[in-house]
Structure 1
Amino acid sequence: MTSQLSSILPSYPPDEMGESDTTEPWIAIEPIVRSTDDGTAQSTNPPTFHQSQFDVILRRQRTRPPTGGGLKDTLATASRFLNLSSDFEFAGWGSFSNLKLTGEDHVVGEERLQRIRRSRLLGQYTGAAVPGNAVLGSVFYALPAVVAVSGVYSPISLFMATLTLFLWRPIMEELASALPISGAPYSYILNVSRKWLALIGAALLLLDFASTSVVSAATASSYLAGEVVLPFPTFVGAALVLIIFAFVSLTGLKESARIASVVLAFHIATMIALAIASTVYWARLGNVQLRHNWADGQPSTHAAIARQLFNGFCLGMLGLTGFECTPSYIGRIKSGQFPLVLRNLHLPAIVLNTLMIMLVLATVPLERVLGGANVLSALAEMSAGPWLRKWLVVDATIVLCGGVLTGILSACELFEQLAHDRIIPQVFLYSLPISSAQYISITVFTAISAALYASSGGSLAIVSKMFSLVWLTVMGLFPLALLLLRFNRGRMPRERNTPLSLVFLTLALVSVVFAGNVAIDPSTAGYFAAYLFGVLAVFAATQNQVQLLRAVYWTYDQYPVLHRWTISKMWGTGLVGVMTKLKRQPVCILVKTDEINHLLHMLLYVRENEETSCVKIVHFCDEENGVPSELEANAKILDEAFPEITIDLIIVQGMFSPANVASLAHRLQIPPSLMFMSCPGPQFAHPIAEFGARIISL
């Protein structure tokens, strides 16, 4: 290119260029000469952009080692450290290479793709069984909380609360059709927005799982204490349940849809038996008890009635807890079955919650209901005697302990995903040699749950109210994720289109109900905020390890006396080594075109969201289209524009497909979760879930 340009451009003697010994290539652009009306020549220098005569500009490129290593220019930039050269701030030069995947790579890629496809085994009933125990088991702790604030108006409040899921179902269905990947809502937000917002979703999910385990354990202990005399307080029993099932998890027990189906079938049979016995007892008793309860529970003013209805509606959301876990299993549900799974969870929740609270008020004296007794066990004893009460206690213990185990295992899956995304340390992936249980994740989650329960003073009421706030906030992430998907990933194909007014209405409802729960007991907002900020602080620290270590080293560097001690110098050298190692963890950007603005935006995302100084730009090249003409040149420009990042360009021979991406992940030893791609369009030929890559641009 230099020789071609020099042949058409005027040359200048060295003394006219101002530097006679320069070895850099220069281009001198001849001034544009125009003729005026009187025939004289008039020069306009410099030309405007519109007047530019050349569309190719040769720019100076620094000499790069042939192998791609070496440091970028560090002499022009001073180091912020007193005892550390500026070499530390800069990465090496990137490289260009052609890559052909081997047969072993293709075998590994096909195996991963087949595992993804084989994992979609759950139909509409087995898929509903996994979260169904939590949704239908919440009746044990939702009813007492609602009756305590809503009294005789509890059936109306609970019925209205369960109807609100008609707002969420189309939102969840649209999100699942666009992003059929597990880990929602954290995974949704991670693919449609920035990582810091996804971290908020992850923190809320962790609190939701912890609250599920604590409330389930405390309720199970309460039901046992109502049936037998425990040799210890109820809160001790709840702690023992948490510890016991932590040890059960360490044995390697994994959640099974079949086991969940059996437990759910037993719970449904128990509820049907309780409903039949209570209905028969109500028919024999008549409406005497219902009229007494109605008269005794009437507030004095209409405003008090409205307040009871609203408070019961706000806390009635507890009867729907577990519904938010359903999208977390979307990767295991057969295609097209997810809307049916939501229906199979929602409709029984409406019937169960409304029917049970109506039967309680029709047969059990109101003073006993409000006296803190186990509501459903009191209903069972009044309807059929001690045998049904014992049956119900057994059912409650099994279902609620299953909720504890579900919370632990769900948290382990979340920790695993966060570790793969490099949000938390890799030690969370460590497992026991025999059981393969993630002992670090189980231990940390049990400690979080125990701290949550202890900070509430062992109060089930406080934890339940805080659980309601956590659940509401998690449910609020779904309409927020859909709004972000519409705005940031509008090209993404999906099967349905939820009205935008419905999305805004759902967000408004979340805000109103959240405020109502805070008004019922403002102290719960303090617990909620404290734990949310605590978890976020931990995530922020682990997500920004290099920045924190850099701040620590800078503080150490400001005291010259520390550099005179051998031990201190060794500590500083080790700190630099840790930072360098963390920065060299690579990520991969999958690109289709060579537009430099598109490449720039993807690199900016990586710089803002990932702690890495090693980025590999990968383009899959087929024989029909070839390599984009400006891709190599633009990659070199960006490699120079980002001195803190080494940018390697890799051209892979083959089609862009899920199997080839999985093969590339094996070849480069980069997990698919750290491979980034742009948003697919409506004509995209492959399911997005099979790639496992993160979508980071439109």
Structure 2
Amino acid sequence: MTPSSDYKTEPDAFITIRPPETQLHPEPTPDTGAPPSFESSQFAVIYRRQRKTNSLKITRTPSRFIHLPHAFEFAGWGEVRRVVLSEEDVAVGQSSLESLKRRRVLGQFTASALAGNDVLGSVFYAFPAVVEQGGVFSPISLTIATFILFLWRPIMEELASALPINGAPYTYLLNASSKPLALMAATLLLLDFVSTSVVSAATASAQLGSEVDLPFPSWIIAAMILFLFVVVSLSGLRESARIALTVFSIHAITMCILIIIAANRWREMGNSQLRANWNEGLLKGGTSPRAIIRQIYNGFCLGMLGLTGFECVPSYVSRIKEGQYPNVLRNLHIPAMVLNGLLMLLVLALVPLDVILSEASVLSALGFRAAGPWLRILITVDAVIVLCGTVLTGIFSAGELLAQLAEDRVVPSLFLKTLPFTRAPYMSILTFAGLCALLFASAGGQLQVVSLMFSLVWLTVMSLFPLSLLLLKYNRHRLKREPRASLFVIVLALLIVCVGIAGNIAINPRTFGYFSAYFIGITFFFFLTQHKSSLLKCLYWTIDQYLSLQNWRWTNHWGASLVNAIARTRRQPVCILTKGDEINQLVRMVMYVRKNEETSNLKVVHFYDQEKGIPSELEANIKILDEAFPEISIDLVLVEGTFEPKAVAAVAHNLEIPTSLMFMTCPSSDFPHQIAEFGTRIISL
């Protein structure tokens, strides 16, 4: 597009330079069998203008800034260059690939233990809430809730097979959908980790309070537990799979002892207590079919709380050995099925219903009825150890999530900084501690309120897995994966989780208020950090609207500072890996970058070999795109070599771009490499 002859700009704006007179459609070159050269093609006008380094991208659209300079709106021309990877680049790429392979160190039992303490430890805070709503029908509710996971296991297996990347379901939605939807998933995950730590700390304090007469409220113990493990995290202590396996084994043995002794006591006592509880429960809850179904349904909605921790397994899937992920899900699911329903049945068979409803520790009461004080103390000690481990797991999981968000430039890079000696990510830990304190304080230190909100958060997180797979099947269906969940299973899982969410809201609508407030608040924070340059532009535009502000010296100083800040936020380059030269595909990828990333520097990387050469229209199409997007400088980087993980890592080192900011199209089912080996993001079909 050529400018009009009378086109003028403000003195402080860029000046466009009219290109030399030339034919828009030059005479065709003789037919030699080869494509026309770039200079002699119909793109000659663009080519000649872009060769002039002092000229600018020409646009007839006026700027929104009338009085103030708007140089930051024009990124300048991109360039075409060939990159030869050095020996250092190749060595870094090879080292990166080997490091990724060495991370797969977790077998099925150690991997099960990392999330197993959460899954099997959830009985301590789930049982009181379930009994309150489900009454004598609680074993039925818990059994139904645990059987529901048979729908999630094939869904989670297919997702992990297609995208064996840590950080799920945030990374699932980031690769299968848009970044805003992925950020909502990140918000839910962060709320899930915060709720896990708060509920675990509050439950541990309640367990201690049931055994020891405390001179102060139990919420102070919960706050002390949270503070203690924040200090432990800042000291640099990292979660060990072996320690987790030890704690998990102790907890499993303790639960087996409790089940065996309680079952033997039930045999000695008979069914008298069970019948008494049954009659009392029917008297309180009602005997009509509608009342019974209502109790089972409410118990089911809260019974899902007894499965918390199951969603944590995909967050470290890249560390699990090849082929062991389905075994890990099985190892967590089957014990949860046995433990939840059977333990609740034993509670109703040995403990009076009024004691169950009044006791802070239901399982401790079961231990006391089954064998006396020694078993009650053992259950209490086991509960405190397991729940404190869950608090630590929540802190570490949140730290990893915030680090991933910092690498994706969602939150400031400050979250990647660590303490000098302990190497602990202090900003992530302190932010997490602040969220825990805010959540616990807003709930008035009441465990019941936080537990109900936790159930709602967990159900919402679990809904992200079928949603992610549905989007993956539609948007990234070419990805290689095995096994494949049917569409019926995905839709059924979504319907069931919606029913569970509706039930939790109906039981206590106030919990939805807590959930909404925190969800909106965290999402809004992510929105602000994700759109920093847009917000700075809005502030700059506000100053531009008032001439009185522009005459103030401090305003001019701040105006220059705003321009520099806008330039800094858009300075980090991002990279697109392209296989061909189809302009429609290139446009989609550039539009994705424009909508989801704040950058003024886009590099399009193409790997080629001497035999096949470079696609004939690639350079021409890149020049057109560089012309079409004035706010982005688009460079074409040509790399001789094979498109493979170590080569991509080598290019990332050469260009100084992290692989998390390198994007590619969806590979086909016969692609020889795994997506996790690249560390890149899939942004198109």
Q: Corresponding residue for 2:256?
A: 272
Structure 2 partner of 1:512:
499
The 5 Å alignment of 1:541-690 reads 541-690=528-677
Shift, 1:75, TM fit:
6.8
Please give the alpha-carbon distance, in whole angstroms, between the structure 1 residues aligned to 2:523 and 2:43: 48
Offset of 1:328 from its aligned partner? 0.6
The Cα shift of 1:641 comes to: 0.7
Describe the shift of the 1:226–1:70 C-alpha distance in structure 2 as closer, same or farther (beyond 3 A). farther
* Kept after mapping to 2: 8 A contact 1:79/1:85: no
Return the alpha-carbon distance in structure 1 between the equivalents of residues 206 and 366 of structure 2.
Answer: 16
1:108 aligns with 2:108: no
8 Å Cα contact 2:57/2:627 also seen in 1: no
CA distance in structure 1 between the partners assigned to 2:528 and 2:594 by the alignment: 17
Provide, for residues 193-243 of structure 1, a one-character-per-residue CA deviation record: whole Å limited to 9, x for no partner: 000000110000000000000000000000011111223211111111111
Query: Partners of 2:578 and 2:169 in 1: how far apart?
Result: 26
State the SS of the aligned residue for 2:167: coil
Match of 1:443 in 2: 430
Deviations 1:266-320 (A, max 9, x none): 1011101111111121111111111111111113322111110000011000010
Structure 2 CA distance for partners of 1:534 and 1:170, relative to 1, 3 Å: same
Q: Secondary structure at the match of 1:682?
A: coil
User: Partner of 2:510 in structure 1?
Assistant: 523
**C-alpha spacing 1:588/1:71, structure 2 compared with 1 (3 Å):** farther
Instruction: Give the deviation of 1:564 after TM superposition.
Output: 2.6
Question: What's the counterpart of residue 57 of structure 1?
Answer: 42
What residue number does 2:34 align with? none
Output the CA distance in 2 between the equivalents of 1:348 and 1:369: 23
For 1:81, which of 65, 74, 88 is the aligned residue? 65
Q: Alignment partner of 1:696: what SS?
A: strand
Name the CA distance, whole Å, in 1 between partners of 2:19 and 2:127: 84
| Cα distance change on mapping 1:668 and 1:57 into 2, 3 Å | closer
3-state SS, counterpart of residue 125 of structure 1? helix
CA deviation after TM superposition for structure 1 residue 524, in Å: 0.7
| 2:463 counterpart SS class | helix
The answer on whether the counterparts of 1:70 and 1:92 sit within 8 Å (CA) in structure 2 is: no
- Alignment match, 1:133: 117
Structure 1 position 542, deviation (Å): 0.5
Structure 1 residue 65, shift from structure 2 partner: 6.4
1:433 aligns with 2:420: yes
Distance 2:80 2:97 in 1: 29
Q: 1:499 aligns with which of 480, 486, 504?
A: 486
- Name which of 23, 28, 45 aligns with 1:26: 23
For residues 625 and 280 of structure 2, the distance between their equivalents in structure 1, rounded to whole angstroms, comes to 75
- Describe the SS at the equivalent of 1:224: helix
Q: Which residue of 2 aligns with 1:45?
A: none
Which residue in the other structure is 1:225 paired with? 209
> What is residue 245 of structure 1 aligned with on the other side?
229
1:211 to 187, 192, 195: 195
2:57–2:76 Cα contact (<8 Å) kept: no
Give the direction of change, closer, same or farther, for the CA distance of 1:238–1:28 in structure 2 (3 Å limit): closer
Q: 1:73: how far off?
A: 3.2
Alignment of 1:189-588 (within 5 A): 189-298=173-282, 299-300=285-286, 301-588=288-575
Specify every segment of 5 or more residues in structure 1 that has no aligned partner in the other structure, as ranges. 1-20, 31-54
User: How far apart, in 1, do the equivalents of 2:140 and 2:572 lie?
Assistant: 56
**Contact 1:201 1:474 survives alignment (8 Å):** yes
In the alignment, is the contact (CA less than 8 A) between 1:71 and 1:87 conserved in 2?
A: no
Contact 1:71–1:90 under 8 Å retained in 2: no
Q: Is the 8 A contact 1:290 1:362 kept in 2?
A: yes
Alignment partners' CA distance in 2, 1:491 and 1:29: 42
| CA pair 146-58 structure 1, distance change in 2 beyond 3 A | closer
Q: Is the 8 A contact 1:153 1:308 kept in 2?
A: yes
DSSP 3-state at the match of 1:589: strand
CA distance in 2, matches of 1:390, 1:71: 80
Counterpart AA for 1:435: T
- With normalisation by structure 1, the TM-score equals 0.92
Deviation digits for residues 627-670 of structure 1, max 9, x if unmatched? 11111111111100111100000001211110111111111111
**Greater mean deviation of Cα atoms: 57-66 or 338-347:** 57-66
Answer whether contact 1:74 1:87 (CA < 8 A) is retained.
no
1:503 partner amino acid: I
Change in CA separation of 1:61 and 1:217 when aligned onto 2, cut-off 3 Å: same
Q: 1:162 aligns with which of 146, 152, 169?
A: 146
| Separation in structure 2 between the aligned mates of residue 22 and residue 244 of structure 1, nearest angstrom | 68
CA 1:244 to 1:22, structure 2 compared with 1: closer, same or farther past 3 Å?
Answer: closer
Cα distance in structure 2, aligned partners of 1:496 and 1:423: 33
Taking a change above 3 Å as real, the CA distance of residues 302 and 76 of structure 1, as seen in their structure-2 partners, is: closer
**Cα deviation digits, residues 313-346 of structure 1 (max 9, x gap):** 1100001000011111101001111111000000
Contact kept in structure 2, 1:177 and 1:495, CA below 8 Å:
yes
The AA in structure 2 aligned to 1:313 is F
Distance 1:648 1:148, change over 3 A: same
For 1:60, give the aligned amino acid: V
State the secondary structure of the residue aligned to 1:97: strand
Offset at residue 575 of structure 1 (A): 1.1
The one-letter amino acid paired with 1:241 is I
* Alignment-mate amino acid for residue 373 of structure 2: P
**Alpha-carbon deviation of 1:71?**
5.5
Give the CA deviation at 1:597.
0.7
Read off the aligned partner of 1:201 and give its amino acid letter: A
Q: Does the Cα contact within 8 Å between 1:427 and 1:440 map onto a contact in 2?
A: yes
The verdict on how the C-alpha distance between 1:514 and 1:365 changes in structure 2, with shifts beyond 3 A counting, is same
Structure-2-length-normalised TM-score: 0.93
Q: Matched residue of 2:191: which SS?
A: helix
Structure 1 residue 69 displacement after superposition: 5.4
The CA deviation string for residues 563-607 of structure 1, in whole angstroms up to 9 with x for no partner, is: 333222211111110101111210000000011111111000000
**8 Å contact kept, 2:660–2:680:** yes
CA distance in 2, matches of 1:62, 1:593: 21
Displacement of 1:84: 2.5
For 2:373 and 2:532, how far apart are their aligned partners in 1? Answer: 58
Asked whether the 8 Å contact 2:573–2:600 carries over to 1, the reply is yes
Counterparts of 1:481 and 1:73, CA distance in 2: 40
Q: Distance in 2 between matches of 1:381 and 1:625?
A: 77
1:559 and 1:274 map into 2 onto residues whose CA distance is 74
**Paired AA for residue 347 in structure 1:** I
The answer (yes or no) to whether the contact 2:608–2:640 under 8 Å persists in 1 is: yes
User: Cα RMSD (Å) of the superposition?
Assistant: 1.6
Three-state SS of the structure 2 residue aligned to 1:183 is coil
Alpha-carbon distance between aligned partners in 2 of 1:22 and 1:100, rounded to the nearest angstrom:
33
Please name the residue that 1:51 is paired with: none
In structure 2, how many angstroms separate the alpha carbons of the residues matched to 1:180 and 1:508? 26
Q: How many residues align?
A: 653
Please tell me whether Structure 1 or Structure 2 has the larger radius of gyration of its CA atoms: 1
Bigger mean CA offset, 679-688 vs 298-307: 298-307
* Counterpart code for 1:272: C
Q: 2:79 aligns with which of 85, 88, 95?
A: 95
The one-letter amino acid of 1:61's match is I
